[in-house]
Structure 1
Amino acid sequence: MSEKAKDAEVTIPAQAQDEGGATLTKDAAPGDVLLKVTGLQKHFPIRKGLLQRQVGAVRAVDGLDFEVRSGETLGVVGESGCGKSTMGRLITRLLEPTAGKVEFQGKDITHLGVNGMRPMRRDVQMIFQDPYSSLNPRHTVGTIISAPFKLQGVTPEGGVKKEVQRLLSVVGLNPEHYNRYPHEFSGGQRQRIGIARALALNPKLVVADEPVSALDVSIQAQVVNLLDDLQQELGLTYVIIAHDLSVVRHVSDRIAVMYLGKIVELADRDSLYKAPMHPYTKALMSAVPIPDPKRRNVKSERILLKGDVPSPIAPPSGCRFHTRCWKATEICKTTEPPLLELKPGQQVACHHPENFEDQAPQDTVLLSAAKEAAALVADEVLAESAETSAAVAAELDTTEETAEPAAESAAEPAEETTTEPAEEAAPEEAAAEEVSETVAVDESDSSEESGTDSQK
């Protein structure tokens, strides 16, 4: 090796160990923001035709906002195809983002090139999903684990071989297997080799992309416990991507739930599992079996989502979950809900959250305005109806007052009409009486005359 190369090398100290050889815990600064993501997007263009013109885009990640604090573990869950792995690659700058910002320890690393990211690789590492394809089958384990030292130009204290053997023992492998090839190891052992490679440079942030999904259940528990132990020993910060909610619950401090490229809920582990607020999170939780023999016969509510996940090429307008949500309303179809903190330590993007007193919370300004407008309209309608009722009552009173004099005036002519015929009938009766008296007198006279004649 040339003198210039030797001068260019940087020696990193080996991790502190106790008398028994165990690695001591790093001094972490809990509470400090280590990673901050703002408006992160990644759209994969769709090109067709001879000229390869862009006709659309797959919106794998479409606006993510979150923070990761030093020493904590952020779990990311969601269905297959929701953008979890793409998000992990964007954080580690293995993919170039379409928009947004990624800040690591207060430094913007969004658009750093290869040379600019090289120093950052010591602090940001990734554990890949497939332990079979992530290891070069032509290289020995020693060569694979020592690759970061060569790429960064650093030499550990005691030499590369000694450091690699120490890392193998840290992850639970035999240090004597230094010269073996990947095909000589099982799946779980290969994943341990990948973890050892990620820990070679003592990183501050490790992004694990479904580290146990390709392993057997028994091996999954070993790898999960290994990650947990390493975090406590080395003070690591994790972003663990998975779709197994039981695994995420075991290792995570906070959990982000993704759906179709967006975070729909971000909360503490206990809050999320005890009282999920987003309907999609509630549906996911209903699918997790409860490993409690006492609750074996307890029937839990199983939520079955209808339909398929919409295409990320043309996602639905408004809330992207409204096509499968049982609580969707018109505002869900037109207005996208923001990710806001409705409870301490619990953020949700939903117009009608679960386990929340106000089913139409104040975070949605449009809905609040609609509420106020509806109240004003209701007050106006009530006022108008009251005015209308008063006017109708006044008209009825006026009509009654007008009708009474009219009835009285109509009754008076009737009485007069009735009296006049009576008055007219009185002379006629008197005349008739006079005629009858005259007739009677005449008859009496005639009878007297007849009597006289008979006497004669």
Structure 2
Amino acid sequence: MSENAEDKAVAAPAQSAGATLTKDAAPGETLLKVTGLQKHFPIKKGLLQRQVGAVHAVDGLDFEVRAGETLGVVGESGCGKSTMGRLITRLLEPTGGTIEFEGKDITHLGVAGMRPMRRDVQMVFQDPYSSLNPRHTIGTIISAPFRLQGVEPEGGVKKEVQRLLSVVGLNPEHYNRYPHEFSGGQRQRIGIARALALKPKLVVADEPVSALDVSIQAQVVNLLDDLQQELGLTYVIIAHDLSVVRHVSDRIAVMYLGKIVELADRNSLYKAPMHPYTKALMSAVPIPDPARRGVKSERILLKGDVPSPISPPSGCRFHTRCWKATEICKTTEPPLLELRPGQRVACHHPENFEDQAPQDTILLSDAKEAAELVPDAVLEESAETSAAVAAETGAASDATTAEKAPAGKKQAEEK
């Protein structure tokens, strides 16, 4: 990222080290609230640069982050996770929706209006190679927040920077080295040290351990946990590694094509995922258990690729790859509803729960093709749910229920 972007991420007016800009949120209170958040990147062509379309990177997010907790965000590449992180830190201007931090609307604040908030909201960027200025030493990079805010740490800036280096596992004697002299994992630690320099209230970490060796990832994850307890930090951690997210998160949001499809606490999500996409993600997590050697895992294979965010599918955006998709999934977008305490799901035919649209049990052609890649056990489970709901509602006769309700299994075999 550019030098100006770095400065923007940490800039704030001069004030003393112990000053607070807003009333601190007590643990459990809402620190960040996002409502209907959107970000559409325009596509322009021609000599006059007329807009011919837009990339729907983030298309309507609703969630809250409570003080002292860690919210994990997972999903496939291109689903809008990093864009969401830059929106809530106000490094990008939202297209629509609102962002509230400690009760204050910061959605459309300008540079001057955001400066008082920069100290409380920091970000660890995904690419450690482009987020550090190659012309500056790491001492200059990590001390930039102190310089831009006019804060004088106890014992001096150099001593504080060297302490931060030791905290993130780097040698304090490397204060005068340049970024090119460090590995990718070490550069990521430098970015973490810079983000934590002023003890912010909210840290958005975009893939904080993806650049690190597996042997070091646990050290950094444990470091983030220790810093959270010591400084009272609140994290939004964006990651691909579901095992890392499970270890560090209190709640987890699953994103697909710019939308949150499931939001739940980690135990509920991993024990009983309710969205078919979440279930497919969980089936891909390897289980390091020697006792399971040779046991065939119920791996759910999804058909095709993620649709283009330029023209996302109508209705439920996952219906083109879902083995449970019916006509209502194609025409009606499911709202994100709390079907169980603390577990919100956007699905017409959720797993481990009664269907929200039981009257429609005929699969789409896309679902028939997707069903061929799904294990029989998964299809039978889904079919049993549909059959039970259809019997309860009396939407069809017993004979019709036997033919149509277990559609996932029967129609896949017929094809």
User: Which residue number corresponds to residue 251 of structure 2?
Assistant: 254
What corresponds to 1:335 in structure 2? 332
**Is the radius of gyration larger for structure 1 or structure 2?**
1
Q: CA deviation at 1:232?
A: 1.8
> Do the aligned partners of residues 263 and 158 (structure 1) sit closer, same or farther apart at CA in structure 2, a change above 3 Å counting?
same
Q: Is the 8 A contact 2:324 2:349 kept in 1?
A: yes
Deviations 1:218-270 (A, max 9, x none): 23222222212211221110000011111111111110000000000000101
Deviation (angstroms), 1:295: 3.1
Range with bigger deviation, 70-79 or 167-176: 167-176
Which of 80, 84, 93 is the aligned partner of 2:81?
84
Match of 1:130 among 108, 112, 127: 127
1:226 aligns to 2:223 (yes or no): yes
* CA–CA distance in structure 1, aligned partners of residues 118 and 142 of structure 2: 15
Q: 2:137·2:177 contact (CA, 8 Å) conserved in 1? A: yes
Shift of 1:313: 0.6
Sequence identity (%): 89
| CA-CA distance at 1:42 after TM superposition | 0.2
2:163 matched to which residue of 1? 166
Runs of 4+ in 1 over 4 A off after TM superposition: 374-378
User: Is the Cα–Cα contact under 8 Å of residues 231 and 237 in structure 1 kept in the other structure?
Assistant: yes
- Structure 1 CA distance for aligned equivalents of residues 77 and 216 of structure 2: 22
Structure 2: distance between partners of 1:175 and 1:216:
21
Provide the residue aligned with 2:177 in structure 1: 180
Rate the CA distance shift 1:276–1:179 in 2: closer, same or farther, 3 A: same
**Residue 145 of structure 2 is aligned to residue 148 of structure 1:** yes
Aligned to 1:410: none
1:298 offset after TM fit, Å? 3.5
The one-letter amino acid paired with 2:111 is V
1:94 equivalent to 2:91? Answer: yes
Give the TM-score, by structure 2 length: 0.81
The whole-number CA distance in structure 1 between the counterparts of 2:66 and 2:137 is 36
2:355 equivalent in structure 1: 359
Give, as a single letter, the amino acid of the residue that structure 2 aligns with 1:124: V
- The DSSP-based 3-state class of the residue aligned with 2:83 is helix
Q: CA deviation at 1:9?
A: 4.3
Match of 1:217 in 2: 214
How many Å apart are 1:377 and its aligned residue?
Answer: 10
Q: Distance in 2 between matches of 1:114 and 1:300?
A: 52
Taking the aligned partners of 1:48 and 1:132, their CA distance within structure 2 comes to 31
Alignment check: 8 A CA contact 2:14 2:148 kept: no
Does the 8 A contact of 2:188 with 2:211 survive in 1?
Answer: no
Q: 1:325 maps to which residue? A: 322
2:56·2:309 contact (CA, 8 Å) conserved in 1?
A: yes
From the two aligned structures, give the one with the greater helix fraction: 1
Shift of 1:274: 0.6
Corresponding residue to 1:296 among 289, 293, 296: 293
1:387-425: CA deviation from partner (whole Å, max 9, x where unpaired): xxxxxxxxxxxxxxxxxxxxxxxxxxxxxxxxxxxxxxx
| Letter paired with 2:331 | T
Which residue number in structure 1 is paired with residue 41 of structure 2? 44
Q: What corresponds to 1:286 in structure 2? A: 283
Q: Residue 146 of structure 2 aligns to a residue in which SS?
A: helix
Stretch of structure 1 that moved more, 254-263 or 125-134: 125-134
The separation in 1 between residues aligned to 2:47 and 2:144, in whole angstroms, is 41
Structure 2 CA distance, aligned partners of 1:242 and 1:171? 19
Distance 1:41 1:28 in 2: 26
1:199 aligned to 2:196? yes
- Shift in Å at residue 214 of structure 1? 2.3
Stretch of structure 1 that moved more, 221-230 or 32-41: 221-230
- Check 1:118–1:294 CA distance in 2 against 1; reply closer, same or farther (3 A cut): same
- 2:402 corresponds in structure 1 to none
**In 2, distance between residues paired with 1:309 and 1:170?**
40
Q: CA–CA distance in 1 between the matches of 2:348 and 2:292? A: 33
| Aligned AA (1:286) | S
Number of equivalenced pairs: 352
